[in-house]
Amino acid sequence: MADPSSQSNYISVAIRHLSLEWSLDFPIRTICGTAVYELEVKGNEVAEVILDTADLVIDSVHVDGSSVEFSLGAKHPVMGSALHIPILHPAIKGGSVKLAIKYETTTDCMALQWLDKEQTQGGKFPFLFSQCQPIYARSLVPIQDTPSVKFTYNARVTAVLPVLMSAILISPASTGPPHDGRKIGQDKVTYVFLQSVPIPSYLLAIASGNLRYRPLPVPKGKDWTSGVWAEEELADAAEWEFKEDTTKFLEAEEKITVPYRFGVYDLLVLPPSFPYGGMENACVTFVTPTLLTGDRTLVDVVVHEITHSWFGNGITHANACHFWLNEGWTTYIERLLQQILRTPAHRDFSFLIGSKMLYDDLKLYESRPAYQRLEIAFEHGENPDDAYSSVPYEKGANFLLHIERTLGGLDVFLPYIRNYVQTFMGKSITTQEWKDHLYAYYREHGTRDNVEALDSLDWDAWLHGEGLTLPVPIEYDMTLARQSNVLADRWDKARTSINLQELFDASDLQKLDANQVVVFLERLQSYAALPKSHINFLGSTYSFATTPNAEIRLRFYQVALLDPQSDAAREYAVDAAAWVVGRETTRGQSEEGRKGVVKGRMKFCRPIFRALYAVDAELALGTYRRHKLAFHPIARNLIEKVRTNGACTVVLIIDH
């Protein structure tokens, strides 16, 4: 079945290599240049190439060296405009076609966010970064914007600021002087990149800003390198945060799969408007600055992104209907590494933490149950971002855990995982192809009991089932959650107490790590809302109201805003609103002179705005409108729903 999110004719003719010649123009916020394509003809008598585009200005098109007339189809609100390019002589199967397109992006480009210097950490230079997943590469370059097509690419990018792409930086060298020793922000330098491993379009990525590089230690015998990039002002903090664990994670991953293929594994710490925790762009993972806590408590996010090098970047979902294959497998393997690097209890604890997000999102999609499924039957032109949630991650990972346990444990399932990677590395697959391979493997390498165990699974319930729970209850080792739950129970029982200082103090958290604190706060949300006095004491005694750890601060505000009608919710809504847009202050003091950080990561800003809207719609709307341009276009799309009434008055509705 063709990708429901693409208008391209990739089934008939497919891109195999892309060459980019780009120039970055920060003052007018555009990328202009040329894209040259080498395409493989897969059908017979192919008379045209159709590429996906969105809000691009096409200047000229050449086919096999000759200028041709092209046409742009009507703009679809989700899929953009199909670019139709005639082939002068109909191509036959096995043949090739070469295209050259001169074009430029526009300020409506969904893939790019151009930041003013004031929106960066250093405040000296502007910044640019991209986010092409799931279907926004078409606003960056004319492309077959489907994960079913993989291609290699090379690029030459000229800019007045250092540039990174999802490819190996050939020149200038990352270990050399910044910007090749030229004056940053003034002199133009051409950066040269090569991506020799075929990747899908959503992994095209670019970033440009006042960046600095720090190498990370690499285990002996490895043929890959690793490092971290960040704005100059954050480079040392970023190096400290990630140098201890990143390459250990990568080495451990290789032991359970196959060797890392991309040659370079770098991290780029982006400005705070980045809408995700991380994005697994090939060769350089983009990460949120909220990971820089100064205590390495959130670096496990990197495990997830590293795992995508095999599950997603290596084995790729054929289209958005099968997105869970990327995220479910990645989440499952990420947690398997928790068991290998730590203990089985840590693995189950990660599942427990994820279960809260899963059930919250299943509840949010109660009115759109199709998005509660693992395998979603998207309609042609439906926006896959509308279904973005923890469901493919958490429900998918739990399904794989259930399969592992049903088959008899890791000793039985781990050899299959390695075979799965070896079989499909470099390919794009569907859920059915994965299922067929799973059965084929155990028929050949397993026992009759293994096949019967697979037959016992309720496949339809897992893949197509809807509802607020998993098809089968999954039990987790609760060892690491026990202290968190006991402390939460104590707070619940003390809700009528007036002498809280006699019952609780900061030492309550001494034996809890950051994840256990998160579970404690999530457990509190399962009880009735605490009185305002208790929330005040909770926030001050444990420093939750001022902690720089965004994971903990989010959960604290969720506890405070639990009852939208309460005095506590009305008071803390003001604090939460200031926090999410980077205007937080010490309680009772002026914000003047205080530089905050916008919480652009959707994991934080979406639930905060939903909670604010429930407490004080005017506060939520006013805060968002004043600061909306600080958020990435993708985040803005998912925070806001614009509706028009009969009088054509636009009303902003904050919801899921």
Residues contacting residue 647 through CB under 8 Å, at least 6 positions apart:
none
In this structure, are residues 36 and 99 in contact, taking their beta carbons and an 8 Å threshold? yes
Tokens (6 digits) for 117:
């210097």
C-alpha–C-alpha distance, residues 383 and 401, integer Å: 29
The DSSP bridge pattern shows strands 640-644 and 650-654 to be: antiparallel
On the CB side of 368, CA atoms within 13 Å amount to 13
List the Cα angle 422/428/431 in 5-degree steps. Answer: 90
Tokens (6 digits) for 215:
């190498």
C-alpha–C-alpha distance, residues 279 and 281, integer Å: 6
Residues contacting residue 2 through CB under 8 Å, at least 6 positions apart:
11
Name which of 292, 120, 111, 273 is nearest 210 in CA terms: 120
List the Cα angle 125/126/130 in 5-degree steps. Answer: 140
Exposed e or buried b per residue across 77-95, where buried means at least 16 C-beta atoms within 10 angstroms of its C-beta: ebbbbbbbbebeeebeeeb
Helix (H) or strand (E) holding 78: none
Report in angstroms the alpha-carbon separations of 325 from 397, 433, 544, 620, 627: 9, 11, 36, 36, 35
**Rg of the chain (C-alpha set):** 25
On the CB side of 103, CA atoms within 13 Å amount to 25
Name which of 166, 156, 122, 137 is nearest 266 in CA terms: 166
**What one-letter code names the amino acid at 568?**
A
Name which of 103, 122, 113, 81 is nearest 211 in CA terms: 122
List residues with catalytic annotation.
305, 393
Report in angstroms the alpha-carbon separations of 401 from 303, 331, 372: 18, 10, 18
Peptide bond before 134: cis, by omega within 30 degrees of 0? yes
Q: How would DSSP label each residue in 348-372?
A: HHHHHHHHHHHHHHHHHTTTSGGGG
Number of H helices, E strands in the chain: 18, 24
Q: Exposed, middle or buried by CB within 10 Å (0-12, 13-18, 19+), for 321? A: buried
Q: Which residues pair with 150 in a beta bridge?
A: 200
Tokens (6 digits) for 176:
């050399």
Question: What is the distance, to the nearest Å, from the Cα of residue 85 to the centroid of all Cα atoms in its chain?
Answer: 33
Q: Which residues pair with 81 in a beta bridge?
A: 53
C-alpha–C-alpha distance, residues 341 and 338, integer Å: 5
Helices 448-455 and 431-445, interaxial angle, to 10°? 150
